[in-house]
Structure 1
């Protein structure tokens, strides 16, 4: 999964343009939902509950890919597909455990990159020397 960039800039720019001023608020929903999804996936893996993997992996996949968080979205997609296959076969998908251990760091990395992208650009005016404490005027 690591061969993919953290964020697909084209997708990110497209959704940012589409959402406009709502982008930071929607991103905050992604942050909240993402934490819940990662927690649920980790719990399901600990409990070896294949059925409980499907929904949070599906949610995380969709939201991640929508924001352009490719590596995270593809990891969640793999978990979702393996879980769906596992449900049909009545087994717990063994390869999900390794991916699930990398999921939280992927989420945190993607979220940090998205939050950085959402931060307003600040243009700094040149500093002026002003009279003030400890300075002579004139």
Structure 2
């Protein structure tokens, strides 16, 4: 994966192959669960609750890895591990403020890439029309 890339497309393709027809549905769950996890992380940060950061960050980390969103997974893991340390030390997670601020844009950018890829997959699979010449529309006589 090149520097700056948000998705390891080999991992994404492997997940698509392994999940088969359930891929789009499970990716939808990632979108829903991820949106909830990011919101929970932001809320926990507003409350300065290190303990409340751990579970949603852990969940986001695992689901992001499944689809090849490795930078998102790494950021979620960093939040999770730092929050766990704060819990152990009984300190507020103030050092995580910038990382939590960076989380939503990274999550949304990753989803945009997934959406673009799914759109391209659908275009590649779109039927060209059995027995029709390219460019012939409905009701147009073919010669």
Q: Tell me which interval the TM-score lies in, with the shorter structure as reference length.
A: 0.7 to 0.9
Q: TM-score, normalised by structure 2?
A: 0.83
Aligned length: 131
- Deviation of the 1:115 alpha carbon: 2.5
Give me the CA root mean square deviation: 2.0
CA–CA distance in 2 between the matches of 1:62 and 1:115? 20
Task: Give the superposition deviation at 1:49.
Answer: 0.6
Shift of residue 130, structure 1, vs aligned partner: 7.3
The TM-score, its normalising length taken from structure 1, stands at 0.86
1:70 and 2:74 equivalent? Answer: no
Rounded Cα–Cα distance in structure 2 between residues aligned with 1:39 and 1:130:
47
Are the equivalent residues in 2 in contact too, given 1:12–1:67 (CA < 8 A)?
A: yes
Query: Helix, strand or coil for the counterpart of 1:95?
Result: helix
Which shows bigger deviation, 105-114 or 121-130? Answer: 121-130
Closer, same or farther in 2 for the Cα pair 1:122/1:90, shift >3 Å? same
Q: Larger relative contact order (C-alpha < 8 A, sep ≥ 6)?
A: 1
Hey, what's the Cα distance between the residues in 2 that align with 1:108 and 1:31?
9
Task: Look up the match of 1:49.
Answer: 49
**Contiguous gaps of at least 5 residues in structure 1:** 133-138
Which sections of structure 2, spanning at least 5 residues, go unmatched? 129-133
Question: Structure 2 matches for 1:1-138, cutoff 5 A?
Answer: 3-119=3-119, 120=122, 121-123=124-126, 125=128, 126-128=134-136
